[in-house]
Amino acid sequence: MPSTVVERPRSTATERRKRTTAALILSLPLILFAAVFVIYPLASGALTAFQSSTLLDQSNEPNGIDNFISLFRSDGFAKAAGFTVGFSAVVVVIEMVLGFALALLMNRAFPGKKLFFTLLLLPIMVAPALLGVMFRLLLNGDIGALPALLDSVGLSVSLFSPDSVIPLLVVLDVLQWTPFTFLIIYAGLQSFPKELLEASAMDGAGYVRSLTSVIVPVLKPVLFAAFFLRAIDAIRTFDVIYVLTAGGPGTSTTTLSIYIYKTAFESGDFGKAAAAALVVLVCLIPFVPFIVRRISSTGMEAKK
């Protein structure tokens, strides 16, 4: 007994040193990769934001905050930010609700489940850039299958008119990404303690009540993970909208990514594009730790 008491502190000290070395060695690939492919581009991108870097003026002279001034002087950036936030909020909420509902629907045994499960995930596997082109054909008023189908049952629609184009984009995003929220939430439901569900069902709680009072609270971290992973991608939405509307009519469907892309590659103003991206980053950073804490709470606590 006494010997263990004496030995313990020493072993902890060496062990701590060992652990630190191990941590460093294990993290080395990440550190190296981050230094080359993250820190450098980040720094150089941030630097560009304070330089005059256009195709016409490649001097890369520092120009102070000129890029930021020109960014905020026109309302294009603010409008793009507004549209992006609004669009992301709407699609993510719909995708969360539908994904959750779909997960509940699929969370039981029925014939053909395996097949349909795979089919439900299929939309994630289509490249968004190609999907945009597929939509252009499918939804075309003259040669597209969907308008033709609607027409044959006597419905005449004009999907791309200015009034309907934003709802259309929402629907298309929902179609492609509900499968993603579904997958994450479904996976969460799989490891849901069955006894909890049965218990609540048994004491006569209605389905809705057991949903709100049992399933949702327990599933919170999963819902957050799905929400977060989906939200960060929604904020970067680019391909499908760019292919379908190029941000128009006017600028009514311009997302931040489209705005930055156009600033860099159509206007050739890399400095201003970098400034815009930097502003986006700075605005989003405060949210990150909050969300990460929610998702990886257990991972972090286990460490203590």
87 to 116, contacts with other proteins by CB under 8 A? 102, 105-106, 108-114, 116
CB of 208 to other proteins, least distance (A): 18
CA distances to 224, 247, 270 from 297, rounded to whole Å, are: 11, 39, 39
What is the smallest separation between the CB atom of 139 and other proteins, expressed in angstroms?
Answer: 8
Touching other proteins, residues 10-49 (CB under 8 A): 18-20, 22-27, 29-30, 33, 36-38, 40-42, 44-45, 48
Distance CA 128, CA 134 (A): 10
Is 280 a binding residue for other proteins by CB under 8 A? The answer is yes
Q: By CB under 8 A, what part of segment 173-212 binds other proteins?
A: 175-176, 178-179, 183-184, 186-193, 202
Contacts with other proteins in 55-84 (CB under 8 A)?
Answer: 55-56, 58
Q: Which is nearer to other proteins, 90 or 171 (CB)?
A: 171
Interface of this chain with other proteins, residues 260 to 279, rule: CB under 8 A: 260-262, 264-268, 270, 273-274, 277-278
CB 210 within 8 A of CB 201: yes
When asked if residue 155 is in the footprint of other proteins (CB under 8 A), the reply is: no
To other proteins, the closest distance from the beta carbon of 10 in angstroms equals 15
162 is an interface residue for other proteins by CB under 8 A: yes
Q: 90 vs 121, which CB is nearer to other proteins?
A: 121
Q: Does 246 bind other proteins (CB under 8 A)?
A: yes
